Chains A and B, each alone.
Chain A
Amino acid sequence: MASPSPHQVTELLLDWSNGSQAALDELIPLVDRELHRLAHHYMRQERPGHTLQTTALVNEVYLKLVDQKHVHWKNRAHFFALSAQLMRRILVDHARKRKYAKRGGGAHKITFDEVMVVSPARGKDLVALNDALERLTAIDERKSRVVELRFFGGLSVEETAEVLGVTPLTVKRDWSMAKAWLYNSLNNEP
């Protein structure tokens, strides 16, 4: 199947941001498939043990998502924000599925400890992080958005600042507070 056209994705994103749930339903599989395709592509170029060229991967997904030519510069921030949100949904969904598969399958036949081995906790943690992030939204929405944009959207401090219309310094301060709050809430609360 051919990749979705940037134009198509952009339209759907816009529709979604205008409140169309149907647009989202159509959008997720499109982006997900693109993500898969790219992930495989990058994996094949990788040597064992190397992680993906994350920046390249994220950029490429965005490139597919956002029809740069048809979006005014002013709206770029808007698309960044939407994409980060979308990515969050997709990634957390993946983690959730994996967590379920692990539980059902109980697949690992060898147990080393967490360091040496398979960590069933990893999928769970992305889900837990997502839940904590939702709690943070209730307390301080901007901080939670900083995390969404940077962690799920892969945006730099400057890009995040641009999306939120604040200074990079504010983003950094929000980030340090949010990071500490999330870390504390994931590690210290039952």
Chain B
Amino acid sequence: MNPERWQELEKLFQEALAQPPEKRTHVIESADEDLRPHLKALLAAHESAGTFIESPAIDVEARNIANLHEPHSVIGKVISHYRVLEHLGAGGMGDVYLAQDITLGRQVALKFLPSNFTLDSERLRRFEQEARAASSLNHPNILTIYEIGEWNSCRYIASEFIEGSTLRELIGGQPMKIDEAIDITIQVADALISAHSKGIVHRDIKPENIMICRGGLGQKEGHIKVLDFGIAKLTEAQSSETDLPTRPLLSTSEGITIGTAPYMSPEQADGLKVDARTDIWSLSVVLYEMLSGHVPFEGATRGRLIVSILEKEPRPLSELVDNIPAVLESLVMKGLCKRRDDRYQTAREFQKDLNEFRRHPEGLESRLTAEKRISLSTQSMGRSSSWRSRAPILTIIGAVVLTLFGLGIKYVWPRLAARNTPPPFSKFNLTRLTSHGKASSAVVSPDGKYVVHVAGTLEQKSLWLRHIATGSDQQILPSNGGDISNLSFSPDGNHIYYVRSAPKDIVLETIPVLGGTPRRLLHDIDSSASFSPNSQRFVFVRGYPINKTASLMLANQDGTGEEKLITHDMNNFFFGTAGDPAWSPDGDHIAVPLRGSDSYTNVVVVDVKTKTEKQLTFQRWNAIHSICWLPDATGLLFTAIDAERKNAQIFYSSYPEGKVETVTNDLNNYEDLSVTADGTSAVTVRSEGESDIWISSVDDFSNPKQITSNKFDGVAGIAWTPDGKMVHGSNESGTRDLWLMNNDGSDNRQLTANVGLNLFPCVSADGKYVIFQSNRSANGSLNIWRMNIDGTNPTQLSFGTHDVDPRCTLDNHIIYTSDAQGQLSVWKLPVEGGTALRITDYYASALGVSPLDGSIAIGLLDEKVLRRRTGVIASTGGRPTKIFDLPALFGTLGPGFYGQTTSWTVDGKSLTYIDTKDDVSNIWAQPVGGGPPKQLTRFKSDLIFYYAWSRDGKKLALARGRKTSDVVLIKDLSKQSAESR
């Protein structure tokens, strides 16, 4: 390149850098054809270069220099509970040693992370999160991570110690024996099945990550171990600031990007979000390489390699190897389909075919050939799985077709337009249908003309029919005590079905829509009933608490002929309550929310005939309430509670791709969801709340004073400072932020702003810090944070995926609840930061810390009766010493927003809690020494969302207000906007 062109290139490069990445296109397009590829390559390099050469060469080299002569300075030393025995290697991400676990006597591989790595809090957070997820994997084909720990502020990972060689060394450019290659692939697939079931995608399956044990040390020779689950995510592009003085050189000198590219899936090459099917691709590449000695996709440069992965078909194996069975070739090719949907969808399917190949290659052959035909035909018909990224290309094709063929467009255009459609309900308008604020359940009739809803307080519920066009209401079922919920319509729209909770029974009943006599269909039902399209049968969920299972049940229209479709552990079906199943419009499938072993709930689709289950979505939801299919079965709508936010929102998933989009994204809570038969409208119940802070003297609870009046305050927590001020969580800013004010409501100052949700503050014993939970970190996980009392210097203290409900102790620690290690449990962490310690080895959540002796009140699950109870444990943890049955473990913190509200009186003698009856809350106290609970406040109206005792025990601060729930109608506008384009 001559100097002028180089200068031109630099000018464009700097011009583009001045823009955010998504807006650089016009700069790229302004470059002439010769410069454009150079500019693109430089910008791409800029984005992925991360910390490349950001720290001086000497940083790395000096260590090597010293190591040449003195490599094993820690050898023989005891670090934490490991005696370091031998230096195994010095990797870019740290040194690896062979060590002996002193307490357990076993040998481990011990890896230290360099400090420059641990100083980068973002990388460290990602590391911890991924490593903890990966450490939860327990499978014979996965390298076990024993511990992720910290010693003298130095982080380490202890893992299983394996001797052997990697698959890379075994392949060596030569075809392997078919049997051997299949055996290895089956073992790796087994590891993937286990990891995928926990929602962990490897992302970097390659021969270097597959280890073949040498034998000995309890390992069978030839046994496969897959390394570094989830860790690959760490090596993805890091921050790209150019002026940070000492960032490690390591990320590039490792050569990670270089080595991995041939195994990269098309979706990775395209920069799309990866899922389990990415691992299936990469494993197929590995299998291809084992069989042929060559990788299927090659390119002289990385760019060419990517093009090859995205566009080229690999050379047939039969051209490279003699006598390769055609069916094996089909099997490998199915794993190497560019479109994820055409590939093996699960590692289990892949593994099944590999096994079948070994046993009955003929049967497999005919099936794979048949599938190939079907897949080709659906591919040309089906809806694109990534309409957004393809939209511009399709528009261009459309335009070209238009100009070239004129009239011929009539046929082509609608099909292209259909592919170009944004997801349903990506744009909508919302109308409130009721305004009494006491709606609890609702359903829309298939023709969209009527909405049936339940209104009233918990004890007094009645069923109402609204004619949408005229707005007229008619009561179709009066209250006769007990809850009415889980409404559904028969497909013909003539009958309404509902679940009634009687004192000792839960029954499904039906009533004609225009009124009549209710008829009882069956007993013991835990979800709504969803009908098959021909109205002959319906599906529901039933739990069997005694043997701890639950089943998806089928029954005839009249309630007879009950039959179990699938059965799982009760925990898989119940997340508080069970979610509602939905029968698909084609009659062949049933979508049901199920909780996986990773404790997240996702939509699973069950085949009615074969009873096989297929997980549709792979998200981190705590619960899914209602599911409904869109009439053309291209997708589903459902309400789900995100692990990060605690209020239910409406989501859309395409079917069968499982691509998820958010529909609503606000602070309200949405429950119950139904869609009209034409798919244009949905009905849901939306809850909102208002709350203000009140102060009462403890000597006289009858005369509290209201100190704030903006209807948003205290709903996300209240905490007193030692000098009598108050930190509280408010919605005033439009999201949940923390505020500090005097206890008369004056001088209310915002402490957090524009950084996600900030909730449930506690103030450290010395009054210096506010500890709270926030989802402000880059991936939105909820973590414990600390800031100074004036809001400055926010610091992340915990690094799990779901760390909530912090409570400050008098000895400068924080007690909180975390789902780390796969189960909700109570953890303890120093206020100044440092290692978090799990203090319950059973399911428990943190409630309150006694100001007297630091005893901790916890919520726990009594597995015998499947009920939540309140326990008391010592400040150091362990099993509960006392257990109480307090009526309300969870306070209602505004709409769909629950927090732990059990606390201690300042004398440490009683546990206090909120008890709500008939929409009126009061504070009660349960003496820890025993005896009946005592009612403290005597409010006659309003809910209490949160409360806190002042440090001196003389005042009680309360967040009080109302929660309103109304039926809303949502009209889908996405189609109109697509058509008008």
A142-179, CB < 8 A from B: 147, 150-154, 156-157, 172-173, 175-177, 179
How many residues of A are counted as interface, with CB atoms below 8 angstroms from the partner's CB atoms? Answer: 70
**Are the CB atoms of B91 and A118 closer together than 8 Å?**
yes
**Are the CB atoms of A49 and B228 closer together than 8 Å?**
no
B43-60, CB < 8 A from A: 43-46, 48-49, 52-53, 55-60
Question: Of B6, B88, B163, which is within 8 A of A139 by CB?
Answer: B6
Contact residues in B for A121 (Cβ distance below 8 Å): 253-255, 258-259
Q: Select the stretch in B295-303, B407-415, B944-952 that faces chain A.
A: B295-303
**Are the CB atoms of B52 and A179 closer together than 8 Å?**
yes
Question: Of B56, B96, B258, which is within 8 A of A152 by CB?
Answer: B56
Q: Select the stretch in B148-156, B272-280, B497-505 that faces chain A.
A: B148-156
Q: How far is the CA of A112 from the CA of B211 in the complex (A)?
A: 8
Contact residues in B for A51 (Cβ distance below 8 Å): 59-60, 63, 114-116, 248
Q: Mark A86-97, 1 if CB is under 8 A from B, else 0.
A: 011001001100
**Are the CB atoms of B59 and A114 closer together than 8 Å?**
no
Q: Select the stretch in B66-74, B508-516, B756-764, B963-971 that faces chain A.
A: B66-74
Q: Mark B183-197, 1 if CB is under 8 A from A, else 0.
A: 000000000000000
**Nearest CB of chain B from residue A29's CB, rounded to whole Å:** 14
- CB-CB nearest in chain B for A101: B68
Q: How far is the CA of A50 from the CA of B13 in the complex (A)?
A: 36
Q: Does B90 contact A (CB under 8 A)?
A: yes
**Are the CB atoms of A151 and B57 closer together than 8 Å?**
yes
How many residues of B are counted as interface, with CB atoms below 8 angstroms from the partner's CB atoms? Answer: 92
Given contacts A40-B70, A139-B1, contact A111 B166 (CB under 8 A): yes
**Are the CB atoms of B258 and A112 closer together than 8 Å?**
no
Contact residues in B for A52 (Cβ distance below 8 Å): 59, 62-63
Given contacts A175-B242, A180-B46, contact A49 B58 (CB under 8 A): no
**Are the CB atoms of B242 and A179 closer together than 8 Å?**
yes
Q: Select the stretch in B105-113, B449-457, B780-788 that faces chain A.
A: B105-113
Contact residues in B for A109 (Cβ distance below 8 Å): 88, 163
**Are the CB atoms of A173 and B49 closer together than 8 Å?**
no
**Are the CB atoms of B231 and A115 closer together than 8 Å?**
yes
Question: Of A49, A157, A183, which is within 8 A of B243 by CB?
Answer: A157
Contact residues in A for B209 (Cβ distance below 8 Å): 113
Q: How far is the CA of A140 from the CA of B42 in the complex (A)?
A: 15
The residue among A98, A125, A139, A156 with the most chain B CB atoms within 10 A of its own CB is A125
Given contacts A40-B70, A44-B73, A179-B46, contact A116 B91 (CB under 8 A): yes
Q: How far is the CA of A154 from the CA of B114 in the complex (A)?
A: 19
**Are the CB atoms of A49 and B227 closer together than 8 Å?**
no
Task: Please report whether the interface of chain A is mostly helix, strand, loop or mixed according to DSSP.
Answer: helix
- CB-CB nearest in chain A for B152: A47
Q: Does B257 contact A (CB under 8 A)?
A: yes
**Nearest CB of chain A from residue B62's CB, rounded to whole Å:** 4
Question: Of B44, B58, B231, which is within 8 A of A54 by CB?
Answer: B58
**Are the CB atoms of A176 and B58 closer together than 8 Å?**
no
**Nearest CB of chain B from residue A17's CB, rounded to whole Å:** 21
Contact residues in B for A88 (Cβ distance below 8 Å): 57
**Are the CB atoms of A112 and B96 closer together than 8 Å?**
yes
Q: Does B79 contact A (CB under 8 A)?
A: yes
- CB-CB nearest in chain B for A125: B253
Contact residues in A for B256 (Cβ distance below 8 Å): 114-115
Q: Does A186 contact B (CB under 8 A)?
A: yes
B188-246, CB < 8 A from A: 206, 208-209, 211, 227-228, 231-232, 234-235, 242-243, 245-246
Q: Does A100 contact B (CB under 8 A)?
A: no
Question: Of A47, A147, A154, which is within 8 A of B58 by CB?
Answer: A154
Question: Of A50, A58, A126, A187, which is within 8 A of B258 by CB?
Answer: A187
**Nearest CB of chain A from residue B734's CB, rounded to whole Å:** 37
- CB-CB nearest in chain A for B14: A173
- CB-CB nearest in chain A for B60: A122
Given contacts A115-B93, A190-B300, contact A180 B45 (CB under 8 A): yes
Given contacts A125-B252, A179-B53, A184-B41, contact A91 B112 (CB under 8 A): no
Question: Of B88, B162, B228, which is within 8 A of A115 by CB?
Answer: B228
Contact residues in B for A153 (Cβ distance below 8 Å): 56
Contact residues in B for A39 (Cβ distance below 8 Å): 62-63, 65-66
**Are the CB atoms of A125 and B255 closer together than 8 Å?**
yes
Q: Does A129 contact B (CB under 8 A)?
A: yes
**Are the CB atoms of A176 and B59 closer together than 8 Å?**
no
- CB-CB nearest in chain B for A156: B245
Q: Does B416 contact A (CB under 8 A)?
A: no
Q: How far is the CA of A118 from the CA of B156 in the complex (A)?
A: 16
- CB-CB nearest in chain A for B94: A49
Q: Does B642 contact A (CB under 8 A)?
A: no
Q: Does B169 contact A (CB under 8 A)?
A: yes
A9-49, CB < 8 A from B: 35-36, 38-40, 42-44, 47-49
Contact residues in B for A3 (Cβ distance below 8 Å): none
Contact residues in B for A125 (Cβ distance below 8 Å): 252-253, 255
Q: Does A2 contact B (CB under 8 A)?
A: no
Q: Does A110 contact B (CB under 8 A)?
A: yes
- CB-CB nearest in chain B for A157: B243
**Nearest CB of chain A from residue B835's CB, rounded to whole Å:** 15
Q: How far is the CA of A110 from the CA of B91 in the complex (A)?
A: 12
Given contacts A111-B169, A184-B42, contact A172 B243 (CB under 8 A): yes
With A114-B255, A114-B259 known, 8 other A-B pairs at CB within 8 A are: A48-B154, A110-B163, A115-B228, A122-B60, A124-B255, A177-B13, A188-B41, A188-B301
Q: Sort A-B residue pairs by CB-CB distance and give the 7 closest, nearest first.
A: A49-B112, A118-B89, A184-B45, A154-B56, A121-B255, A50-B115, A183-B49
8 contacts between A and B (CB under 8 A): A48-B154, A49-B118, A52-B62, A114-B91, A125-B255, A176-B13, A183-B48, A184-B42
